[in-house]
Amino acid sequence: MSTTDSSIKGPALFLAQFMGDQPPFDSLAAICRWAADLGYRGVQIPTSDSRCLDLRLAAESQAYCDDLRALCADAGVEITELSTHLQGQLVAVHPAYNELFDNFAPPELRGKPDTRTDWAIEQLLLAAKASERLGLTAHATFSGALMWHLVYPWPQRPAGLVEQGFAELARRWEPILDAFGEAGVDLCYEIHPGEDLHDGATFEQFLQAVDGHPRAKILYDPSHFVLQQLDYLDFIDRYHDRIGMFHVKDAEFRPNGRAGVYGGYQNWQDRPGRFRSLGDGQVDFKSIFSKLSQYGYHGWAVVEWECCLKHPEDGAREGARFVREHLIRRADKAFDDFAGGASDAGRNARILGIR
Query: What is the predicted pLDDT for the residue at 53?
Result: 97
Query: What is the predicted pLDDT for the residue at 337?
Result: 77
- What one-letter code names the amino acid at 240? H
Query: What is the predicted pLDDT for the residue at 301?
Result: 98
Query: What is the predicted pLDDT for the residue at 1?
Result: 39
Residue range of the domain that includes 181: 9-352
165: exposed, middle or buried (Cβ count in 10 Å: 0-12, 13-18, 19+): buried
- Please report whether residue 98 resides in a domain: yes
172, 91 Cβ separation under 8 angstroms: yes
Work out how many domains the chain is built from and give that number.
Answer: 1
CATH of the domain at 130: 3.20.20.150
Residue 151 DSSP code: S
Query: What is the predicted pLDDT for the residue at 3?
Result: 41
User: What's the Cα-to-Cα distance from 148 to each of 197, 198, 260, rounded to whole Å?
Assistant: 9, 9, 19
242, 267 Cβ separation under 8 angstroms: no
β pairing state of 216-220 and 250-253: unpaired
- Please report whether residue 4 resides in a domain: no
- Please report whether residue 322 resides in a domain: yes
Query: What is the predicted pLDDT for the residue at 84?
Result: 98
- Please report whether residue 3 resides in a domain: no
- Please report whether residue 27 resides in a domain: yes
- Please report whether residue 190 resides in a domain: yes
Cis bond leading into 155, ω under 30°? yes
| Buried b or exposed e, range 289-315, using 16+ CB within 10 angstroms | bebbbeeebebbbbbbbbbeeeebeeb
Residue ranges in the chain modelled with pLDDT below 50: 1-4
| Buried b or exposed e, range 123-138, using 16+ CB within 10 angstroms | bbbbbbbbbbbbebeb
Cross-strand pairs, 140: 83, 188
- Please report whether residue 291 resides in a domain: yes
- Please report whether residue 1 resides in a domain: no
Query: What is the predicted pLDDT for the residue at 87?
Result: 98
d(CA 285, CA 119): 38
Query: What is the predicted pLDDT for the residue at 333?
Result: 81
